[in-house]
Amino acid sequence: MEATCAMIYDLGLPKFLSGEATNITIYVQNRSLHQALDFKTPEEVFTGKKLDVSHFRIFGCPVYFHVPKEERNKFESFGKKGIFVSYSENSNAYTIYIPSQRDMEVR
């Protein structure tokens, strides 16, 4: 909980994102090396496979993403700016918080 509170407070994000911050804390800890496991990750010990962590992003970093033509009209911009808050549980996508809309999208 200390890591979660620190991330939310340090970045000045709304408190309703604390659930996402908790999920990302657990996600990263399960994919980090531990001395008690002979410097293997808990995920690696559980599944027996080496993990790829190239998809890791910094919690709270600004992100820009493309808005497909079908989801916008001709007067809206091609992209949006948001804040990375979590990894998607169902795919290799990210959950992005869009402060201007007070909404979250999975991209």
pLDDT band at residue 89 under the 50/70/90 scheme: confident
What value does the mean pLDDT of the chain take? Answer: 90
Secondary structure of residue 96 in the 3-state scheme: strand
- Residues 71-83 have pLDDT tens digits of 898 888 899 999 9
How many structural domains compose the chain?
Answer: 1
pLDDT at 21 over 90: yes
- The span from the CA of 50 to the CA of 43, in Å, is 8
- Residues 43-64 have pLDDT tens digits of 899 989 888 888 899 999 999 9
At 12, phi and psi to the nearest 5? 70, 35
pLDDT at 88 over 90: no
Residues of the chain above pLDDT 70, percent: 100
What is the reported pLDDT for 1? Answer: 83
pLDDT at 85 over 90: yes
From edge to edge, which strands make up the β-sheet containing 94-98? 62-66, 79-87, 94-98, 103-106
Q: Domain range spanning residue 51?
A: 2-106
